[in-house]
Amino acid sequence: MKKHLYILISVLFLTNFIYGQDATPTPTPSPTAVEKLENVPQIAPNFESDKKDLPDLGLVGVDMTQQKPLTLKEAITLALENNKDIEVTRQNVRIAEFDLQSLRGVYELRLSGQTFYERATVPNTSIFSTNRTTTTGNLGGNVALQGFIPKYGTILSGNFTNNRVASDNSISILSPQYNSSLTLNITQPLFRGRNFDQNRRNIEISKRNLSLTDTQFRQRTIEVITNVQRAYWDLAFALRNLQVQRDGVRDAKEQLAHNKRLVEEGSLAPIDIVAAETQVAVIEQNVYEALENVNRASNILKNLISVNRNDSIWSESIVPTDSVELETPKTTLPEALELALKNRPEIEVNETQKEINSIEQRFYREQNKPQIDLIATYGSAGIGGSQNSNFRSPFSVTCNPQSVDYQTCLQQQQLQIQQQQSFLQQIGGAGTTFTDILANRYPTFRVGVQFNLPLFGDKTSQAQLGKTLVQSDQIKTQRAQLEQSIQVDVRNALQSVRTAEARLRSAIIARENTLKQYESEQRKLDAGQSDIYKVLERQTAYINARSNELRAQTELNKAIADLQRATGNSLKANNVEARLR
């Protein structure tokens, strides 16, 4: 037997020698080629890394002992309460509410008025007075009240004025003299502005803007929920993948210890221990890469749910506690499309834009009507005062005792005095100004029509109306484009769910089979039917399969979140009600 073995070895040696002589050797690069290059600096030519201690397995700025269990519901709640974008959108809604209140304020009753005292001295230029100057003191006050009937565009107003005038003018009968008046006005549009005007237009548009802002608030809420879901499942994957890599290090170290026993028993060569040690080092690198992914995923989630940078959650280790195995929605494409067209905020935004356009059309159609207004005014005045001590009538009669008509002159003079006294008695004191108004002693009525008509048509309003009609067609086109975009979004999201389900199923099968292959290869190694390199290869494949399974489950969960967003069902699916605090 030994003789045959020696002959076989000799034949193999001679064959290898012959073929080795005939084969063309592979040329190796000459080191002189590198040496001939000029001005090329050497960078750490003798570098060797002697540091073999591994850093601590932790996260920067995080106390790993302070773990914070967190459910997806809690994460969504924290995000909606603390997220800065949500708070800004919430403030936009409040701003829109105040805008609407300010526009409605135009119809509030308005009270205005003034009071003043004036004293003026002017030169006398009248032939009826011998005074060189006239001094007048005026104490006045007036008040006005304005209101509206918004439904018909009616404007109502009332004015009350009251003045006290004192003068040393000799031709002024009364000093002081009291003048009061009460005036009521009404302006009623007959065509333009009767059914719709600028104020009503602004209010209606502000209402739609409030609805639009509220819709945008819900849209932003949906986006935040989706982002939190994706970040939550990314962190769940990162933590579980970290555990998979740590389990891989544990298994690799156990394999290393097993190999050492086999070397001691003589079943393996000592060099095989080096391969196992290399495997441990490679998987340890994967551990720290997985730890880096945990840090990034954790910071992304914390950024979504924390109050600010000083929140205590930044120093805590978040641990997702929800099960990664979510129930996949069982919905068909027609059902998903119908739900999306019903719930997507973009559709509501388009509807609101359509309503605003209808308001604009109504307003500019109203502006193309003739501007003709009915106006009516009623006024009542009152007067009172006391006789001016300096009064001298320019028409007083001077009687000459030597005149033949002296007696007749005296009678005329007496008649003038009686007329003056009668006039003063009719005027009365300061209080008669109000009684005169109430008694309607000095009334004034005015009824008329005022108009403002362009001679060749209102081209501005016509152009604005034409613009709104074109914008209406534009909104319809945008609606069709939006519905098609939503359809694509829903189709892609639904396909992603189906694909993620299939990928998860394949990943589970791959993980189960790689485990069987790994265990089988270990048994073969123990029986001497395999080598360490195949075992390590199977071990690496099993670790990757476990990580791929976790990734597939995470992608399925994120696909479910994207489907909820695509159908506009994120709020209902997560039991969230979008409202202001």
Ordered DSSP codes for 401-434:
TTSTTHHHHHHHHHHHHHHHHHHHHHH-STTHHH
What pLDDT score was predicted for residue 32? 43
What pLDDT score was predicted for residue 29? 44
Average pLDDT over residues 457-465: 89
Average pLDDT over residues 467-480: 95
Residue 23: pLDDT band with limits 50, 70, 90:
very low
For residues 465 and 368, the answer to whether their CB atoms sit within 8 Å is: yes
What's the chain's average pLDDT?
83
Helix (H) / strand (E) element for 444: namely: strand 442-452
> Helix (H) and strand (E) counts for the chain?
13, 8
- Quote the CA–CA distance of 61 and 295 in Å, as a whole number: 10
Average pLDDT over residues 194-217: 91
**CB-based contacts of 457, cutoff 8 Å, min separation 6:** none
What pLDDT score was predicted for residue 302? 94
317-320 and 67-70: which strand pairing? parallel
For residues 413 and 399, the answer to whether their CB atoms sit within 8 Å is: yes
Model confidence over 238-249: pLDDT tens digits? 999 999 988 888
Q: Return the structure tokens found at 195.
A: 């059914």
Average pLDDT over residues 559-576: 92
Angle at 224 between CA 220 and CA 230, to 5 degrees: 145
Model confidence over 123-160: pLDDT tens digits? 877 666 667 788 888 899 999 999 999 999 999 999 99
- Quote the CA–CA distance of 77 and 535 in Å, as a whole number: 48
What pLDDT score was predicted for residue 235? 95
Residue 394: pLDDT band with limits 50, 70, 90:
low
Asked if pLDDT for residue 166 goes beyond 60, the answer is yes
**CB-based contacts of 542, cutoff 8 Å, min separation 6:** 511, 514, 515, 517, 518
**pTM assigned to the model:** 0.72
Average pLDDT over residues 207-233: 92
**CB-based contacts of 495, cutoff 8 Å, min separation 6:** none
Nearest to 328 by CA among 513, 552, 78: 552
- Quote the CA–CA distance of 457 and 294 in Å, as a whole number: 71
Residue type, 127: I
What pLDDT score was predicted for residue 225? 94
Burial of 248 (0-12, 13-18, 19+ CB in 10 A): buried
For residues 158 and 184, the answer to whether their CB atoms sit within 8 Å is: yes
Angle at 328 between CA 572 and CA 297, to 5 degrees: 80
Asked if pLDDT for residue 15 goes beyond 50, the answer is no
DSSP-assigned letter for residue 107: G
